[in-house]
Amino acid sequence: MAQDNRLHQNFGAPETTEVVGVRFRDTGKVYYFAPGKLTIKADTPVIVETARGTEYGVVTVGNKSVPTSEIVPPLRPVARIATQNDIERHEANIALEKNAFDICLEKIREHKLEMKLIDAEYTFDNNKLIFYFSSEGRVDFRELVKDLASVFRTRIELRQIGIRDEAKKMGGIGICGRPFCCSTFLSDFAQVTIKMAKEQNLSLNSAKISGTCGRLMCCLNYEYNTYEEELRLTPPVGARVKTDDGTGNVTEISPMTGMLKVALTDKQGNTVIRSYHRDKITVLKLPERGHGKGQKQQAES
């Protein structure tokens, strides 16, 4: 019995660790920190210790326990809940960042560098000033860094970012008429492939499936798993099926509704197209690989 108890302890519920989730920018990634003895609610500003030093952030996930396996060690602590002085300092840093951005922009012009300045960011303790930029190629900014260091009297870091990160920081309106997903609620970029557009029968015209950043739209990933499951349940175009009206070949499918169109031959030998739900037919034969290429899959709205 004692042995059974030990086994239960070893193989029972996974080990957990108490954490809070903190975000440093409005649409930045959420990082876990150790709350210690603090109980912190969402939307509470806090001061935390990071690899970059002391930082100001906002709690987006209050105290909760997560499997220890999900944590990337070391788990850094929450130093304190932000005081009024901390909040005022953070707001002052935001004003300083705007001034630093303008100065850096002017310095880039003076040095005639092929780079696009995206953002400026001070660490909370003002020990470092980070400039984010994008560029089509490598940029020799060593002289620019020296120039900026002499102006701001602090450590300067220039960080090149990709085009998707640029869109996230800049923000804007997508073709759907809504603000960019990446600049509103997405904390990470998921992999998006052309296969996702094909499976959803979307136009493969790059202008229609690409975002403002020029990459495939993040939203192609949102419904992909559902489409994949519905396609698995739906007979493909070219399949030979049995219906209440006879046998025929599937010519068009609508996976999300489960409806498909079947070409049948009537008594006069004419081809007629009729619609059926996939649950009302029987698949007799699946098409050979590649058969039916170019046939229609009804677009979903």
Candidate from 23-27, 76-80, 177-181, 285-289 with smallest mean pLDDT: 23-27
For the chain, give the mean pLDDT.
88
The tokens for 159 are 């960080």
Largest CA distance in the chain: 90
What pLDDT was estimated at residue 8? Answer: 45
Number of Cβ within a 10 Å radius of residue 238 = 17
pLDDT at 37 (0 to 100): 92
Question: What global pTM score does this model have?
Answer: 0.71
**What is the C-alpha separation between 163 and 12, in angstroms, rounded?**
45
pLDDT of residue 277: 96
Q: Is the pLDDT of residue 3 over 60?
A: no
| Residue type at position 33 | F
Looking at residue 187, its pLDDT comes to 77
The Cβ of residue 82 has, within 10 Å, a number of other Cβ atoms equal to 21
Position 297 confidence tier, pLDDT thresholds 50, 70, 90: low
Rg (CA), the chain: 28
Which of the two residues, 289 and 284, has the higher pLDDT score? 284
pLDDT for the residue 74: 82
Q: Would the pLDDT of 249 be above 50?
A: yes
- The one-letter amino acid code at 73 reads P
Residue 44 DSSP one-character state: -
pLDDT tens per residue, range 9-61: 455 567 999 999 999 887 678 889 999 999 999 999 999 988 888 899 999 99
Kindly state the average pLDDT of the residues 156-170.
Answer: 91
Q: pLDDT > 70: what percent of the chain?
A: 91
Adjacent-strand bridge partners of 263: 249, 273
Q: What pLDDT sits at residue 193? A: 93
Q: From 219, 274, 218, select the one nearest 246 (Cα to Cα).
A: 274
